[in-house]
Amino acid sequence: MCDNASREDAQKQGYTEEERAELAEKLEQDLDDFINSLEKKPYTDGWPEDRWEEEMEKHPFFMSKISDDPNQVSPLIEGLQQLKYGEEYNTPDELAQSYKEDGNFNYKHKKYEQAVYIYTKGIESKSENKDLMSQLYSNRALSQLKLKHYKWSLRDCRSALQFSPQYIKPMHTAAKCCLELKDNDQCIQFCNQILNILKKENKQDDEIVKLKAEAEKNKKLKLRDARMKEAKERKLKETQEKIKKAIDLKKISIDNDSNLFQDSQWYVHLKSDGSLVWPVIFAYPENNQTDFVENFEETTSMKAQLEEIFKESPAWDSDQNYKVDKLNIYFAGKDKKLHRINIDQSLGSIMQHKQFIVHNGTPVFFVVIAKSKVEHAFLESYR
């Protein structure tokens, strides 16, 4: 622009080309000198570079989170909230729509608990728009599903379908909930409803087909497991009846049939030849110790079993006093007295003693050193 003005002045005054070039060069130099002479000052009215996000967060139109403390909410934000959520400024439909949009925003950003709360506020607006209410319940159901609140999610799906019976979205959510809750029949039912609706519209949803197939597979596996469990229980019951019959035939006394098969890894059982195998407890009063023999066959003698137990001296028998030929074995009989046994007898023969009784499904024998003070005191305690 300066060049054009200079050129016009030169032409009016009859400057030569050389003079005009000299004048233009002078004007450019004067402009550069003026710019360089300006005082250089930093711009201090803007946001600091390291805090620009923090400053933006303070602006009502850019903030992503509003303080929970009402004393920290600015009048402008409070006014905006009133315009958006105040019942005096909005109809129930408008309120429900606003809450739905806010809930969708939080759901999109994976803030599912906040979304549930906001959708609930929308539902509480009591909008008469059935489609809008159905959407609020359906969206809350999706948020509950993300939080793994499957029962609550399913309940919301049913509420959504009360407002809009053909709404596919809550049907899909409900099917997923039923699968998680192992309610395969309900899952299949919801999937069939969706597929029937889509069929009328000549549409197909591979995800629903896959979901239904998974529920049908789980249903078959559940039925198979139930049959296997039933067969196992039937076989166990038959075995237990055989054991009870064998015990009765051998005239062995027990305190209660139900105690024979307590929920334990070890209980009386039958061998293939029909003989009984018992779990047995040996108690040592002198040392407050016990031994548990998991499988004591009734045909095995007491002496043989003791020799197996004391093949190596136990850690608590520091003096090695427990030798089979130095021990006496007792059981507490039905008459509340101690009865010494012949260790050469088999376990089956001992248990057929008229005073012997099995308590809690497990025979118990007391082992003491023969003719010791402990034996004397032990016998006195039962008199």
- Listed residue (246, 249, 268) closest to 258, CA to CA: 268
Residue 77's pLDDT is 46
pLDDT for residue 375 is more than 80: yes
Task: Please compute the mean of the pLDDT values over residues 292-305 and round it to a whole number.
Answer: 96
Q: At what angle do helices 184-200 and 168-180 cross, to 10 degrees?
A: 160
Residue 263's pLDDT is 63
pLDDT for residue 196 is more than 70: yes
Tell me the pLDDT tens digit for each residue of 61-71. Answer: 445 555 555 55
Residue 33's pLDDT is 72
More confident residue, 147 or 52: 147
Could you tell me if 365 and 328 are in contact, meaning their C-beta atoms sit under 8 angstroms apart?
A: no
Tell me the pLDDT tens digit for each residue of 226-248. Answer: 999 999 999 989 999 999 999 99
Kindly provide the residue ranges of all beta strands, DSSP E only, lying in the chain, ordered along the sequence: 269-270, 276-284, 289-297, 327-332, 338-340, 364-369
11 SS3 class: helix
At 113, the pLDDT band (50, 70, 90 cuts) reads: very high
265 SS3 class: coil
Tell me the pLDDT tens digit for each residue of 12-57. Answer: 445 567 766 776 777 677 767 766 766 555 555 555 656 655 655 5
Report the mean per-residue pLDDT for the chain: 85
Residue 382's pLDDT is 82
Q: Can you spell out the DSSP letters for 114-169?
A: HHHHHHHHHHHT--S-HHHHHHHHHHHHHHHHHTT-HHHHHHHHHHHHHH-TT-HH
At 149, the pLDDT band (50, 70, 90 cuts) reads: very high
Task: Please compute the mean of the pLDDT values over residues 302-331 and round it to a whole number.
Answer: 93
Residue 319's pLDDT is 87
Token pair 């087909």 in the structure block, residue: 209
Residue 212's pLDDT is 96
Could you tell me if 357 and 334 are in contact, meaning their C-beta atoms sit under 8 angstroms apart?
A: yes
At 10, the pLDDT band (50, 70, 90 cuts) reads: very low
Residue 73's pLDDT is 46
Tokens of 123: 């539902």
